[in-house]
Amino acid sequence: MSLIGKEVVEFNANAYHNGEFIEVSSEDFKGKWNIVCFYPADFTFVCPTELEDLQEQYATLKSLGVEVYSVSTDTHFTHKAWHDHSDAIGKIEYIMIGDPSHVISQGFDVLDEQGLAQRGTFIIDPDGIVQAVEINADGIGRDASSLIDKIRAAQYVRTHPGEVCPAKWKEGAETLKPSLDLVGKI
């Protein structure tokens, strides 16, 4: 069943962030926009390319009022070791959550049969409600730049009730106002 429109499952977890271990909970998602990026495991192949790409978009996402979290079923200790030993991961400034208990991965329905998180990306609004989901097969890396337009569209729709953003919508472009008059005319 889709998680769109549903509140994020409650959780408490340990994370690695900017040289420190911190605690993160589902309550931290409230009051701001969030991107939660699940990935299978630290010290792997596709994962560091994705997380580095996400870091490259981090400043733009922060300017849009978005916090970014990466999550794998590794521990926060493993995240620190990876951060300390990988040039790509060493650049990361966003929060890296450890989910060895699988509570978060199960709550977002991305836990596979091997106990690893699938490549799931979630956009969560300031009320803690899931607004967008993308899940890729293990061998298919994601493009974090696509999140910028998705965030802008989600923010626009939230602040403009009755309007929707069509395909390939960019900030400042025309939106649609669903009505009986539009049916069959697009």
DSSP lists the bridge partners of residue 21 as 16
Closest CA to 98 of 19, 145, 42: 42
Q: Report yes or no: 24 and 8 within 8 Å, Cβ to Cβ.
A: no
CB contact set of 4 (below 8 Å; sequence gap of 6+): 130, 131, 132, 133
CB contact set of 154 (below 8 Å; sequence gap of 6+): 33, 123, 125, 131, 132
Give per-residue pLDDT as tens, 46-92.
999 999 999 999 999 999 999 999 999 999 999 999 999 999 999 99
Which two three-digit tokens encode residue 46? 């596709």
Outline where DSSP puts E strands in the chain.
Answer: 12-17, 20-25, 33-38, 66-72, 95-98, 119-124, 130-136
Active site (catalytic) residues: 47
Give per-residue pLDDT as tens, 140-169.
999 999 999 999 999 999 999 999 999 999
Whether pTM exceeds 0.85: yes
Distances (CA, A) of 20 to 5, 76, 168: 33, 10, 39
What burial class does residue 168 get, using C-beta atoms within 10 Å of its C-beta: 0-12 exposed, 13-18 middle, 19+ buried? Answer: exposed
Q: What is the pLDDT of residue 180?
A: 75
